[in-house]
Copies of this chain bind each other. A is one copy, B any other.
Amino acid sequence: MTAAAPRPIVVAEEVLRARAYLLRVAEPSALHTGRLVDLLGPVAAADAIRRGDVPERVADETSARRGADRVDADLAAAADCGARLVVPEDPDWPQWPFACFGLTDKKELAPPLGLWVRGTGSLADLTDRAVAMVGARAASGYGTHTAAELGAGLAAAGQTVVSGAAIGIDGAAHRGALAGGGPTIAVLACGLDRAYPTSHAGLIDRVARQGLVVSEYPPGAVPARHRFLVRNRLIAALSVGTVVVEAALRSGAQRTASDARELGTVLMAVPGPVTSAASAGCHELIRQGALLVTRAEEITEATGRLGVELAREPERPQRRTDVLDETQARVHDALPPRAARDIAWLAVEAGLEQDTVRSALVELERRGLAEFHEGRWQRSVGGGG
């Protein structure tokens, strides 16, 4: 929409180039390569990997591609599709969301070595209180409707929706957020010069204009099944909480859910009919402790700043008899809807003293809930409920 303002150069060129090289040679999630970078810095770590002079576990992650030095080509291809490289040395790095990686030692849950980013917004800003929404590709009409509603509600509450741009729930979540006027982030499992799935090319372009498209894979990288699973950890990590909208019992969405749990973020799931296989994974997650959510407000309550956003109480039906005290309600219940009765009869029926019944009837009459006819009482028409 708006043209990108020129970004101040804040990261040294050699750091950026080293990170671009690392993203090309180390297939994510590359735990040991990341540790070497933490130890030596990106420039020295990249040099060591190029030379093959690294510990065996780093070699396992990098030796197959360490000769593939395509830094210039990758940076040029990224620029061609409007993408930039955001690295941990950049103030725009989502430092705070990614702190969650510190909670786990699992090698499939290592932080990314950098992120290719398409879109003009700030990654750090847009991932403040972001919510991941994931779910089945084979979603039902109910699932896509619900994902779109929740996406729009979160956008209205000022929360970024993070998802994976897939067919089904992902697409509906992005579309809902866009329709709600909010930014949304699509995390891809391929290079940003590709649109996958192809049928979502237009959607991905709209996401890039109104939010961000993100990937740790270099330009040209093709989507592969393990990349979808590895990518899912980024969707979870970029968000304060993850909402699973529809998921079969064994699905990528459940994998994202387990990542969210392992990374210590809030795990939520939307229920559905117990007769729908598409909701079975959500129900299993709730049985295992995920928070059941039905409305965007409930998601905001669970992921918002503590004490600031609280879900409004859902509206409850009101009845004219709600204001009655226990004795009055009992007398009202005893009043026949069609026939009129005397106080002695009502006292027996309600199990109360005649004096008590008499004063309750006065109050019921005042409220238009009882009528007096020739020495007998009956319930007012329309005064029940």
CA distance in complex: A113, B26 (Å): 75
A349 surroundings in chain B (CB, below 8 A): 222, 224
Q: Closest CB-CB distance, A141 to chain B, in whole Å?
A: 11
Q: Quick one: which of A274-304 are within 8 Å of B by CB?
A: 274-275, 279-280, 283-284, 286-287, 291-292, 294-295, 298
Contact in complex: B270, A274 (CB < 8 Å): yes
Nearest CB in chain B to that of A322: its residue: B250
CA distance in complex: A145, B295 (Å): 25
Q: Closest CB-CB distance, A109 to chain B, in whole Å?
A: 14
CA distance in complex: A294, B274 (Å): 5
Chain copies in complex: 2
CA distance in complex: A334, B224 (Å): 6
Tell which of A61, A271, A286, A317 has the most Cβ of chain B within 10 Å: A271
Nearest CB in chain B to that of A143: its residue: B273
Contact in complex: B145, A347 (CB < 8 Å): no
Contact in complex: A249, B292 (CB < 8 Å): no
| Interface segment out of the listed A5-13, A37-45, A62-70 | A62-70
Contact in complex: A273, B64 (CB < 8 Å): no
Query: Does A54 reach chain B (CB closer than 8 Å)?
Result: no
Contact partner of A272 (CB less than 8 A), chosen from B145, B272, B316, B353, is B272
Contact in complex: B225, A348 (CB < 8 Å): no
Query: Does A91 reach chain B (CB closer than 8 Å)?
Result: no
Query: Does A156 reach chain B (CB closer than 8 Å)?
Result: no
CA distance in complex: A279, B330 (Å): 29
Query: Does A146 reach chain B (CB closer than 8 Å)?
Result: yes
Contact in complex: A142, B314 (CB < 8 Å): no
Q: Quick one: which of A256-273 are within 8 Å of B by CB?
A: 270-273
Query: Does A333 reach chain B (CB closer than 8 Å)?
Result: yes
Query: Does A102 reach chain B (CB closer than 8 Å)?
Result: no
Query: Does A55 reach chain B (CB closer than 8 Å)?
Result: no
Contact in complex: A63, B292 (CB < 8 Å): no
CA distance in complex: A69, B224 (Å): 83
Q: Can you give 27 A-B contacts (C-beta < 8 A)? A: A27-B350, A64-B347, A64-B353, A142-B275, A145-B275, A222-B349, A224-B334, A224-B349, A225-B329, A225-B332, A226-B330, A248-B317, A249-B314, A249-B316, A250-B317, A270-B274, A271-B271, A271-B283, A271-B292, A272-B272, A272-B273, A273-B273, A274-B294, A280-B314, A286-B286, A287-B292, A292-B292
Residues of A at under 8 Å CB distance from B?
Answer: 26-27, 61, 63-65, 68, 142, 145-146, 222, 224-227, 248-250, 270-275, 279-280, 283-284, 286-287, 291-292, 294-295, 298, 314-317, 329-330, 332-334, 347-354
Known: A224-B334, A249-B314, A249-B316. 7 other contacts (CB 8 A): A64-B354, A227-B333, A270-B274, A271-B286, A272-B272, A280-B314, A284-B314
